[in-house]
Every structure is written in structure tokens, then in C-alpha cells.
Amino acid sequence: MVEEFPDIPGCCIDGLIAEGGMAVVYSAVQQALDRRVAVKVMKAGDDNNTQRFLQEARYLATLNHRHVVTIYDVGTLADGRRYLTMEILPGGDLRNRLKQGLDTRQIRTWILELADALQVVHQQGMVHRDIKPANILFRADGSLVLSDFGIAKNPHVDVELTQAGSVVGSPAYSSPEQVSARPVDARSDQYSLGIVLLEMLFGYNPYRAEEYAATLVNQLQMSVPTMPSNLKSWQPVLDRLLAKDPDQRFVDMVALKRAVPPEEGCQVLSAAVGRQDDPTLISTRSVEPTKHRVRPWSIVWLLGVVVLVGIIGLWGVYRYRIYEDLQLAQQRFRTGWYMDPAAGSALDYYHRVLARDAHNSQALAGLAALKQMFVRKVSIAEIHHDWVQAATNLRQARRVSPEDPALVTMQTMLQQEQARYEEAHRHAKGEPARDSGHHAKAHHGSSWNRFMHNLFGK
């Protein structure tokens, strides 16, 4: 069976390059100039996808940089789908290069090129929000190109674009502020770039877990891995890029480029460099006790030491119980035992930790990730108009954070959105409308999108 390609004015499509959730990319020849191009054709979808597609075209048109993909044209097919033509990048993506293994000279060059590209992006007031190996492509000459600006954000114009439930970014490369639905800025791209750098050096992404929820927890809690001795010069750069607090990252990409270590020879790294099960392992050593003659006055001192050791021992037990409960909470999170049955669930263990240490950052971050997971499920259920599932997930989110006013507002907004949808459904079937009216229906839908946009900060 011969594959049927879309008819692109002025282009002759000759193959499929890739297919994603929102678009399909074809290889083609632009006939007037006799040059090879890539044609990105949007799949049939809702208005949000159309706006994102047009947003990508507009963003790329404002960027003129060697390490940012070049756009040639944008248009509309006969069936209404949008398309854009851009330079074709035959060198594959970074995922393929990672499988082959890299050397430190390549890594240094590519990080500097990515920093150059992101410097231009950020100077235009944009945030890419999806820095990952699949979006880092290569030309035939080996030069690096940053691509896929479909979910990039301009804080000044990107008002209601993020539809409820759209998971913006890729969790394995997302910053803590992204996965916890806080506002993002250019520093979020630094964190994602840090994970890409770590993956180039290690050959794998240590923040990626088998479960989606566990990956979120890693982004919120996992410490920066310790570099092996042959890569120690990269540790200060990674410590800044992967700081959980955005204020501790670099001021901008210029500062990052200054911090990149100088080239010191060329080390060839394997596709998976020295995985450490626990990079924060602390080594211990034994010390031979010193012999002393016991004097009478030392008995009082000895009793004091015994009391002190007892206090330290109790404190150690107390801290160990917190550590143990945190480990159990994270294990429950990874296996999907979130809150039911309540006893022994992730929620239960996080509460146990907070009962002992009300300000424990790991437990608070775990609860934030748990709430965020259910909020995203609410959003996804709303997109599919599954109101029962949306309400169930919202109840779960409120169990995690019962005092969160945003969740109270979400419940009201969700009820309004359900009423709007059901009213529109009745209207489509020709049934008489209720009191809400057409204007209210449109207003509610707009309000829900605006509310979710503000909640997710995207």
C-alpha cells in the first residue's frame, strides 16, 4: 500500500521523518529553489493545538541564530490544517548520539552551542520549556540545532494557551517549578539543560524513574549526583544548573558559558558511565581507642558522656524514623499506593514525617507532587468530559491539601464547566436551553482555561 502524503504547495514530499502527538514531519523538495526541506504538518485537532502550532512558527520567525532551527514558510492545507516548512536536519537527534557514547570535547562544544541558542531565546523573552535530547538535532556538518518550540512560552502574550490537562514539558527533564505547577522563567530551561548535560556525561538520566509519579518526586527531591573523579570539573556547573531553587542557578546563559570548564584533553565516555546506586554515600573509617587510667574526677565526666550519648542516641533514632518513613513514602509513591487504603500509604507516611518534623522539605515536596499528580488527572478527565473521574481526582487532591484555596476554586470552576458542557450538549441535540445562556457557556469555558493557566503557571 502506497502511503498518501499531503499536497503541500510548491513542495514534493518524498518520505516520513517523524510523527508526534500534534504534528507529522515529512521530508520534501522545495521545487522553486530545488532544496531539501522538512515539512511539519499539524494533525487535525482543537483550537489550542492550532494556536500552539502558529505560536511555534511565529517564535521561530523571530529567531535568527545558527543553533536554532530555521523556518522558511507557513501555510494552510485545503482541509484547514496548518503546515510549516523548515530546514531539514539529517544528522539525527541527541538520543541517537547518546547511544553511541560521547567524548568530553563534543559535550563541551554542544553545551556551549545550546547555551548560545538559549541565550537568544531568552533575550526574546521566551522560555523553551521542553529542552530534551529528542529536541536537539544535528545538521549534516555535525553542528547542533535546537528545535520544537511548540510549547515555548512568551510571558507577555501567552495568555490562555495551556489547555487544562496538557502536560507541558517532559517530566524526566522538567524543572521542580514545572512539575509543581509554579510559574516558570528562563531559569527553568537551565535545569532541563542540566539534566541533558548530566545524561551526556553519565550516559543515562538518573532523574528518570519507571513511574511517572516517582519521576516527579525525583525532580523535587533528588540531590545532584556526584561526578566521578574524571569528570569532577563539571560538578560546579551541574550544582548550579540543577539547583532546586531557581535563585541558585546561573543569572543567564552568559554566566553559564563562563562557568563551563576549559578543555583538558579529550576523554571518550561510554554510553553508560559508572552508575552509582547512591552517589551521596559517605565513607567511614574506624579509629583505635586511646587507653587512659581511670581517675575519680572522671566518673562525673563519664556520667555526663553517658547522658549525652543517650540523648544523641534518642535523636538518632528520631531522625532514623523520619528517614525510614520518607523511604517508605517514596516507595509507596513509586508503586502507586497513594492514599487508599489509608494506613501505610504514601500520604500516611508523609503525614507521619510531618508529625515529627512539620517543616520537613522532602515530605512537603512529596505532598506537593502527590497533589499535582491528582490535579493533572482532573485536567485530563475534564478534557475528555469525564466528570465523575474529574470529581474523584479532585477529592483526592483535596485530601492531600484540604486547606488549599485553589482546589476549592477548582471545584467551583469544574462544576461550572460541567454545566456549560451539558448545556452545550443539550443545545446541540435541539433541547431547550436552561438559564445559563450561550454567553455564560462561553464565559465559563474561557474562565476554566484561564484558571488552569494561572494554576499551572504556563
**E strand or H helix at 14, and its extent?**
strand 11-19
Do 386 and 433 reside in the same domain of the chain? no
Residue 186: inside a domain? yes
Of 35, 54, 87, the last residue of a domain is 87
* Residues composing the chain: 458
Domain boundary among 57, 87, 117: 87
Give the closest residue to 336 by CA, choosing from 209, 234, 237. Answer: 209
Residue 22 belongs to domain with CATH number:
3.30.200.20
What are the grid coordinates assigned to 86, written together? 523548515
Q: Which grid cell is 243? A: 539547583
Same domain as 363, residue 248: no
Q: Would residue 359 count as lying in a domain?
A: yes
For residues 147 and 232, membership in a common domain is answered with yes
Q: What is the DSSP string of 332-380?
A: HHHHT-SSSSSTTSHHHHHHHHHHH-TT-HHHHHHHHHHHHHHHHHHHH
Distance, CA of 294 to CA of 176 (rounded, Å): 56
Kindly give, in sequence order, each residue whose CB lies less than 8 Å from that of residue 66, ignoring residues fewer than 6 positions away: 116, 143
Within-domain flag for 105? yes
Q: Spell out the per-residue pLDDT of the chain, length 458, in tens.
A: 456 788 999 999 999 888 876 778 899 999 999 999 999 888 776 566 677 677 767 777 777 889 998 888 888 888 888 888 989 988 989 999 998 889 999 999 999 999 999 999 999 888 888 899 989 999 999 899 998 765 444 443 333 333 333 335 588 999 998 887 778 899 999 999 999 999 999 888 999 988 777 788 888 888 999 998 889 999 999 999 999 999 999 999 999 999 999 987 778 776 654 344 433 322 222 333 334 444 454 455 445 544 544 454 444 445 667 877 888 888 888 888 888 888 888 899 899 989 888 888 888 888 889 888 898 888 888 888 898 999 999 999 999 988 888 888 888 888 888 888 888 878 777 766 555 444 444 444 556 666 665 555 44
pLDDT value at position 62?
Answer: 76
CA atoms within 13 A on the CB side of 201: 22
Q: In angstroms, rounded to a whole number, what is the distance separating the alpha carbons of residues 379 and 446?
A: 14
Same domain for 37 and 80?
A: yes
Domain that holds residue 46: 11-87
What is residue 122's three-state secondary structure? Answer: helix
pLDDT at 190: 97
Is 292 part of a structural domain of the chain? no
187 is a domain residue = yes
Residues 102 and 229 in one domain: yes
Domain membership flag for residue 289:
no
Sort residue 145 into left (φ over 0), alpha (ψ -120 to 50) or beta: beta
Cβ contact 27:14 at 8 Å? yes
Q: What residues are annotated to the active site? A: 130
Residues 7 and 26: their CA atoms lie apart, in Å, by 11
Residue 124's nearest CA partner among 152, 148, 151 is: 152
Q: What's the CA gap between 339 and 48, in Å, rounded?
A: 34
Domain co-membership, 243 together with 124: yes
Cell of 380: 485530563
Q: Which three cell numbers stand for residue 419?
A: 454545566
- The answer to whether residue 209 is domain-embedded is yes
434 in the same domain as 330: no
Same domain, 204 and 334: no
Spell 110-143 as b/e; 16+ CB within 10 A means b.
bbbbbbbbbbbbbeeebbbbbbbbbbbbbbeeee
Please tell me whether residues 77 and 206 are part of one structural domain.
Answer: no
- What pLDDT is stored for residue 435 in this prediction? 52
Burial class (CB in 10 A: 0-12, 13-18, 19+), 157: exposed
The answer to whether residues 186 and 202 belong to one domain is: yes
Asked whether residue 210 is assigned to any structural domain, the reply reads yes
Strand, helix or coil for residue 15: strand
- Boundary residue ending a domain (212, 228, 259): 259
- C-alpha torsion 378→384→389→393, nearest 10: -10
**Single pTM value for the model:** 0.59
Q: Return the H-helix or E-strand segment holding 136.
A: strand 136-138
Q: How many domains does the chain have?
A: 4
Q: Are residues 171 and 217 in the same domain?
A: yes
Cα–Cα distance between 427 and 430 in angstroms, integer? 5
Q: By C-alpha distance, which of 384, 391, 436 is closest to 412? A: 391
The pLDDT score that the predictor gives to residue 447 is 66
The backbone torsions φ and ψ at residue 86, rounded to the nearest 5 degrees and listed phi first, read: -145, 175
Q: Is there a single domain that holds both residue 382 and residue 413?
A: no
Q: What is the three-state SS of 264-333? A: CCCCECCCCCCCCCCCCCCCCCCCCCCCCCCCCCHHHHHHHHHHHHHHHHHHHHHHHHHHHHHHHHHHHH
